[in-house]
Amino acid sequence: MINQLKLPHFFEIYKSTNHIETANAIKNMIIRGAPAIGAAGAYGVAQACFEAKKENFLVHVKNAVKLIKSTRPTAYDLFYAVERVFKKVEKAKDLEEAKKLSLEEAERIANESVEACKRIGEFGNRLIKSGSKILTHCNAGWLATVDWGTATAPAYFAKRKGKQIFVFVDETRPRCQGSKLTAWELLNEKIPHAIIADNAAGYYMRKGEVDIVITGADRVARNGDVANKIGTYEKAVLAKENGIPFYVAAPLSTFDIKIKSGDQIPIEERAEEEVFYAEGLAESFIEKVRIAPIGSKAKNPAFDITPAKYIKGIITEKGIIKPNEKNILKLFQRK
């Protein structure tokens, strides 16, 4: 996996050799983004099969599944992918078959994810005119998926079609996925963009400089409520206030149709340290510096819920839908 903790300053590949290292890579955000951690989790279950001894291999894999699922609570792709691979393992007649089936299923999940994101890009491109100024939050690009991305895939397609576009990149404190990852992707894609402080979005929206907002999702509930990176909700409210269409891009693997609404989505609380410190390049190494005074407390929810009423449409691999229970369940009937 690309070690996302080192970007944008260093490009390093992190090689995970067993399911415990994979679980740690997800927990510590070496890899992050809903579809990316889904694929990593799927391969983690396959790794557990390859590590297991013949006797009681199912117990070993069950424990691995438990560990991988415990790494991050919000993104649904992780649970979807890990369960899919585990179902294959349960059906296997012996360890050799479990190894084969689990690896095949992990590969299938990764390949399906690439295909889904590509379609999201194609559908989303239809919303983008030449000259459009797009605002995005967090990183929902190819780093956060297996390839193409979700929220940024439409921009990548638009660029390939020759459209002139510009992207406002929310910095996305405290982990700065916007300034560290999305901006780096856009540079690689040669797409004009500017990083803005998270609290600058409303200023540009009010000035009429934002034509469309597209974000990713970590989990979509049956009623169309969306969990995504903290700060997404306020962007959606601001977009509505300013008459700007707000879209979410998400593959079906991010939809949790078992839950009725966003209120049931578990929200990850992360360490206070992420708020106290900023991290970046000092000379030639990555250094952390303290911003907040010693003695203050911090709160650090990693995600928030955007109610469906603020979302103009969800861009999926099956087309763009208005978020409501009827449309969402229909997506799964046709699967």
In the complex with ligand MRU, which residue's Cβ is closer, 205 or 249? Answer: 249
CA distance 208 to 133: 10
Q: What are phi and psi of 61, to 5 degrees?
A: -70, -40
Q: In this chain, which of 34, 45, 95, 226 binds ligand MRU, going by CB under 6 A?
A: 34
Identify the three-state secondary structure at position 75: coil
What residues from 168 to 187 belong to the interface with ligand MRU (CB under 6 A)?
177
In the complex with ligand MRU, which residue's Cβ is closer, 95 or 116? Answer: 116
In the complex with ligand MRU, which residue's Cβ is closer, 48 or 181? Answer: 181
Site string for ligand MRU, 187-216 (x = CB under 6 A): -----------------------------x
CB of 152 to ligand MRU, least distance (A): 8
In the complex with ligand MRU, which residue's Cβ is closer, 145 or 316? Answer: 145
How many CB atoms sit inside 10 A of residue 66's CB? 11
Closest CA to 76 of 179, 225, 274, 247: 225
* Closest residue to ligand MRU: CB criterion: 216
Q: In this chain, which of 7, 23, 35, 323 binds ligand MRU, going by CB under 6 A?
A: 35
What residues from 75 to 134 belong to the interface with ligand MRU (CB under 6 A)?
75
Q: In this chain, which of 22, 71, 102, 145 binds ligand MRU, going by CB under 6 A?
A: 145
CA 32, chain centre distance (Å): 7
Residues in the interface with ligand MRU (CB under 6 A) total: 17
Closest CA to 214 of 128, 109, 131: 128
Q: In this chain, which of 33, 44, 174, 262 binds ligand MRU, going by CB under 6 A?
A: 33
How many CB atoms sit inside 10 A of residue 169's CB? 25
Please, are residues 260 and 331 in contact by the beta-carbon 8 Å criterion? no
CA distance 314 to 250: 7
Q: What is the largest CA-CA distance in the chain?
A: 66
Residue type, 129: K
What residues from 211 to 230 belong to the interface with ligand MRU (CB under 6 A)?
216-218, 228-229
Strands 277-282 and 285-290: antiparallel
Q: Is 65 in the site for ligand MRU (CB under 6 A)?
A: no
Q: Is 144 in the site for ligand MRU (CB under 6 A)?
A: yes
- Choices 27-35, 191-199, 236-244, 292-300 (CB under 6 A): range interacting with ligand MRU: 27-35
Helices vs. strands in the chain: H and E counts, helices first: 12, 13
How many CB atoms sit inside 10 A of residue 175's CB? 23
Residues that bind ligand MRU (CB under 6 A): 32-35, 75, 138, 140, 144-145, 150, 177, 216-218, 228-229, 302
